[in-house]
Amino acid sequence: MNKRVLVTGGAGYIGSHTTVELIKAGYEVIVVDNLSNSDRAVMKGIEQITGISPRFIEADCCDREAMRRIFEEHDFQSVIHFAAFKAVGESVAEPLKYYRNNLVSLLNVVELMVEYKRRNIVFSSSATVYGDADTLPVTELTPRKPATSPYGNTKQMSEDVLRDTAAACDGFASIALRYFNPIGAHPSALIGELPRGVPNNLVPYITQTAAGIRERLSIFGDDYPTADGSCLRDYIDIVDLARAHVVAIERMIEHRNQKRYEVFNVGTGKPVSVFELVHCFEEANNLKLNYAVAPRRAGDVTAVWADTTLANNTLGWHAERELADTLRAAWQWEKSVRGIE
Ligand code: NAD
Ligand code: WQD
């Protein structure tokens, strides 16, 4: 069995945690990253946690010749493709940057996989493909809504590229994992999320507010048709999410995915409101957060959470960590980055 995996975007938030879980499960990992949204120091954190230093190649997945060299020189059978830009708002302002990076990088990887006969790819998709769903929770059969951002569109188009390639090429298989809201950090506090500038996402904004870097958290809307008026999301612990990639790779290596293109929701199945999350963070870490209600944020859907039955039954994967533990890990990580005792 070939237990070598190429992890594109492996120095990033989800990629670094997945690299750790792959190494723990006995895989040999080759990380490719252009460091456009990450720091090389992350590789040190991975080594400190696992005792193993995975091979790191600084390269851009959009650079076809650089990628070809990697395929020439390494005989991995599986790829996990994280490399992409992910800021929804920025993608609206700069659509071509997103279409180029997210689509060209995927096309290069998939074309080279077909050419070099590398069979398996796990792709980072997103709950954003469901948009403002008509029924909740969403299952994998819930229709995708037309994308409301170029970023979301790249995820839909990428899923289609993988589906159509699997249908046409016998020696090619893929699993698209639709992540809900990944949060938290490795419990060692040696790796975690490193947003650049002002965070767009809720949990990094909370931890930076607690650390005194941001003055106050704005809660975007308390007049939604939910029990407490704030939006509902499905917050998935980063280590649980990382483990889902390992079981997806295992499934493909063992050829248990007869259909050769599969999609799985990766969430907890539990809706959590913004107020609930803030209060859980305060209780778990025994501190008070400065926050205030602000107007709704453009583009937010009221609620989205996963039906995870398919991942539970088919992958044998379950979200395990409690929200309070995840929020403790998020705070430990922020403190370690800022040097707070
Ligand atoms: P991240 O920005 O931390 O990681 C992405 C990594 O890819 C970075 O290290 C970046 O330097 C690298 N990269 C980007 N373009 C590249 C290129 N052309 N060549 C080589 N490396 C490149 O983001 P993340 O949160 O870890 O997200 C990973 C994947 O998961 C992305 O595809 C993202 O769209 C998807 N996703 C993320 C979330 C989320 O909330 N974090 C949710 C759903 C899906
Ligand atoms: C969560 C909730 C906000 C910040 C995004 C992408 C999605 C996926 C995951 C990539 C919402 C509220 C937030 C703040 C707040 N990424 N909020 N104050 O928007 O659910 O999903 O990340 O695929 O595509 O859109 O996540 O963390 O930004 O927001 O009140 O300062 O927190 O309104 O209800 P979101 P988020």
Q: Read off the amino acid at residue 121.
A: I
CA of 300 to the centre of ligand 2 (A): 7
Ligand 1 pocket member 14 (CB < 6 A): yes
Please state, in angstroms and as integers, the Cα–Cα distance from residue 241 to each residue in 95, 146, 148, 192, 319, following that order.
Answer: 28, 26, 25, 13, 8
CA-CA-CA-CA torsion sign (15, 106, 315, 27): negative
Identify the pLDDT of residue 170: 94
Shortest-distance atom of ligand 2 to CA 155? 23
Ligand 1 pocket member 19 (CB < 6 A): no
- Tell me, rounded to whole angstroms, the distance of Cα 73 from its chain centroid: 28
Buried b (16+ CB within 10 A) or exposed e, 54-88: bebbebbbbebebbeebbeebebbbbbbbbbbbbb
Identify the pLDDT of residue 237: 99
Kindly report, residue by residue over 27-49, the tens digit of the pLDDT.
999 999 999 999 999 999 999 99
Take atom 21 of ligand 1 and give the residue whose Cα is closest: 33
Identify the pLDDT of residue 2: 83
Ligand whose nearest atom lies closest to the CA of 198: 2
- Residue 90 half-sphere exposure toward CB, CA atoms < 13 A: 12
For residue 316, what are its two tokens?
């044998």
Ligand 1 pocket member 182 (CB < 6 A): yes
Identify the pLDDT of residue 163: 98
Q: Which residues of the chain have pLDDT under 70?
A: none
What is the end-to-end Cα distance of the chain in Å, rounded? 45
Shortest-distance atom of ligand 1 to CA 128? 43
- Tell me, rounded to whole angstroms, the distance of Cα 231 from its chain centroid: 20
Identify which of 184, 247, 300 has the alpha carbon closest to the alpha carbon of residue 21: 247
Identify which of 282, 290, 292 has the alpha carbon closest to the alpha carbon of residue 327: 282
Ligand 1 pocket member 135 (CB < 6 A): no
Identify the pLDDT of residue 1: 76
Pocket test for ligand 1, best of 7, 20, 67, 86 (most atoms within 8 A of CB): 86
pTM value? 0.99
Hey, which residues are catalytic here? 151
Give me the residues paired with residue 122 across strands.
80, 175
Ligand 1 pocket member 151 (CB < 6 A): no
